[in-house]
């Protein structure tokens, strides 16, 4: 597997652990619908949260969260609508971004949790 895939998987695991320490319960990991993949689907207080995890090893091309563009948001929104329908969820939903910035050869990192990062299309 390519190094960037390993880094992405590591970032998703870090994000999952981070969220669990904040009281979120993981429902799904790498859930797919059509052309979309939702990195994490978690819940807290009857809210389902669809999480996009973005990782970078530097900021030369921008912050990790800058890479969640309108196309990605639309794909995630479509997947979320299908998930909510399939699970007959009647509560709130939200879209968050977890940005992981690796430092010093991936041994250190910063995590930024951006709640309500974008709206449902």
Mean pLDDT for 86-91 is: 94
User: Does residue 121 lie within any of the structural domains?
Assistant: no
User: Does residue 7 lie within any of the structural domains?
Assistant: yes
Mean pLDDT for 89-102 is: 95
Per-residue confidence band for 48, with pLDDT thresholds at 50, 70 and 90? very high
CATH number at residue 106: 3.40.1350.10
List the one residue out of 87, 110, 96 whose CA is nearest residue 39: 96
User: Does residue 21 lie within any of the structural domains?
Assistant: yes
Supply the pTM of this predicted model.
0.90
Convert the pLDDT of each residue in 26-44 to its tens digit: 999 999 999 999 999 999 9
Report the percent of the chain where pLDDT is more than 90.
77
CA distance 117 to 60: 22
User: Does residue 119 lie within any of the structural domains?
Assistant: no
Q: Which domain holds residue 107?
A: 3-114
Per-residue confidence band for 1, with pLDDT thresholds at 50, 70 and 90? very low
Quick check: 110 pLDDT over 50?
Answer: yes
- For residue 83, which phi and psi values (nearest 5 degrees)? -65, -45
What's the total number of domains in the chain? 1
């Amino acid at each position: 597997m390519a190094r960037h895939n390993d880094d992405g998987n590591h970032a998703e695991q870090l994000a999952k652990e981070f969220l669990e320490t904040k009281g979120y319960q993981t429902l799904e990991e790498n859930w797919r619908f059509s052309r979309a993949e939702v990195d994490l689907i978690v819940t807290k207080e009857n809210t389902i949260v669809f999480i996009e995890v973005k990782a970078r090893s530097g900021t030369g091309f921008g912050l990790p969260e800058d890479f969640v563009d309108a196309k990605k948001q639309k794909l995630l929104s479509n997947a979320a609508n299908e998930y909510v329908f399939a699970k007959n969820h009647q509560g709130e939903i939200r879209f968050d971004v977890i940005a992981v910035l690796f430092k010093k050869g991936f041994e250190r990192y910063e995590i930024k949790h951006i709640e309500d990062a974008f709206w449902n299309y």
